[in-house]
């Protein structure tokens, strides 16, 4: 992998990640952009104890542009975009409309490929590995920023999820705090460690799931399963068999095997609802909307979680769709939105069986 860092016309950082070591990236951003002005602010909820990012400048962000005006495609001739070069493998850049900025953290965009009509599922294993390397590199770099406590790499896919740009891409949020969901995991981890005399909760969960009927896919270094208490109609958790706290700690064997396992999972998701979509389908009719989210240990102090260290946390990816059946979505209505109590219409065992049934190989 070759890494080349540059600056866009408004001062934002852009980084090319290339498969070839001899690739030259010297294109200049020719757009007449003013410096980015953001109004991001973190406010604490005194009752719930969580945080809300208030970012009014995002109201003006790009919204469903036509394909020939996509800002994530490479620059071609006089058609200028966020990426100055005429081609790329993987690109990461600071979001022009960030939810978090300055002392409130940082937001980045990750473009998986220059092909506008592709999807992550249509990448080659070599391309998917390059994305993994980019995620890992950005996690390392962002962890050194004084305002950053946790790094979150994720992909939103599909209009039903709320995606406003059809180009295959994901995002990285660098939070200035430990997120509420991670804090819940850490509290459960601490309580289990205390009640069992030091045993690890993630290890116990993985052991239980390995013995259950909800395993979807497994390999030498990874295991994917529908969790016992899945919140979403089709939800898969992907764990490395060797517990590590973050992407940086994955060994080479797990990195090498990840693309094969993850691409297979994504392609199965595209076959879930018998829509006829192929693995190479891009955004549009027939693809399965999903969120793919990496959970990593915070880099900040864990003093609020008695006896827990970063090494107790288990890196894992959670992949889920809001579609519960063909043509029907799972909405977060009264119980979910009002009380955070999920009601799942699809039994996890049935979901796991369906995901095994639609194997692509």
Q: Which residues does 234 contact at the CB level (< 8 Å), separation at least 6?
A: 226, 269, 272, 320, 321, 323, 324, 346, 351, 354, 355
Catalytic residue among 57, 64, 144, 169: 169
Residue 337 to residues 42, 181, 332, 341, Cα–Cα distance (Å): 21, 15, 6, 8
Among 120, 67, 61, residue whose Cα is nearest residue 90: 120
Secondary structure class of 52 (helix, strand, coil): strand
- The runs of H, that is alpha helices, within the chain are 125-143, 180-195, 201-210, 252-269, 339, 348-357
Counting every residue, how long is the chain? 361
* Cα gap 169→163, rounded to integer Å: 10
Q: Could you tell me which of 212, 204, 209 has the C-alpha nearest to residue 188?
A: 204
Side-chain half-sphere exposure of 61, counting CA atoms within 13 A: 14
* Beta pairing class for 234-240 and 316-321: antiparallel
Active-site annotation holds for 169: yes
Structure tokens at 46: 């005194």
Token pair of 314 as six digits: 């288990």
Instruction: Calculate the CA dihedral of residues 44, 246, 199, 49 and round it to 10 degrees.
Output: 0
Q: How far is CA 50 from the centre of its chain?
A: 21
| Positions of E strands within 27-73 | 41-44, 51-54
SS3 for 110?
Answer: strand
Nearest partner of 134 among 31, 245, 15, judged by Cα: 15
Distance of CA 347 to the CA centre of its chain: 25
Q: Which residues are catalytic?
A: 169
């Amino acid at each position: 992998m070759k890494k080349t860092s540059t600056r866009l016309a408004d001062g934002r950082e852009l980084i090319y990640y290339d498969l070839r070591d001899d690739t030259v990236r010297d294109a200049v951003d020719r757009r007449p952009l003013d410096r980015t002005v953001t109004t991001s602010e973190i406010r604490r909820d005194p009752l719930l104890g969580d945080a809300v990012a208030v970012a009014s400048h995002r109201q003006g962000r790009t919204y469903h542009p036509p394909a020939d005006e996509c800002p994530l495609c490479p620059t071609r001739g006089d058609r200028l975009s966020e990426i100055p070069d005429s081609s790329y493998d993987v690109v990461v850049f600071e979001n022009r409309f960030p939810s978090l900025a300055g002392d409130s953290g940082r937001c980045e965009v990750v473009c998986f490929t220059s092909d506008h009509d592709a999807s992550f599922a249509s990448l080659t294993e070599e391309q998917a590995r390059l994305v993994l390397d980019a995620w890992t590199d950005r996690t390392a770099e962002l962890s050194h920023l004084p305002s950053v406590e946790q790094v979150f790499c994720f992909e939103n896919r599909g209009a039903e999820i709320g995606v406003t740009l059809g180009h295959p891409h994901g995002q990285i949020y660098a939070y200035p705090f430990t997120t509420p969901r991670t804090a819940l995991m850490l509290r459960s981890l601490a309580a289990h460690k205390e009640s069992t005399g030091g045993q690890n909760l993630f290890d116990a969960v993985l052991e239980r799931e390995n013995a259950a009927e909800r395993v979807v896919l497994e390999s030498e270094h990874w295991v994917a399963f529908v969790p016992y208490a899945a919140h979403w109609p089709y939800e898969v958790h992907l764990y490395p068999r060797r517990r590590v706290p973050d992407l940086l700690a994955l060994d080479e064997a797990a990195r090498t095997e990840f693309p094969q396992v993850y691409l297979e999972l994504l392609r199965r998701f595209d076959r879930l609802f018998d829509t006829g979509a192929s693995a190479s389908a891009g955004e549009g009719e027939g693809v399965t909307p999903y969120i793919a989210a990496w959970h990593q240990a915070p880099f900040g102090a864990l003093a609020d979680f008695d006896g827990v260290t970063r090494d107790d946390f288990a890196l894992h990816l959670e992949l889920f769709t809001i579609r519960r059946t063909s043509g029907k979505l799972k909405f977060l209505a009264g119980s979910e939105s009002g009380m955070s109590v999920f009601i799942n219409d699809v039994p996890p065992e049935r979901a796991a069986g369906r995901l095994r049934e639609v194997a692509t190989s």
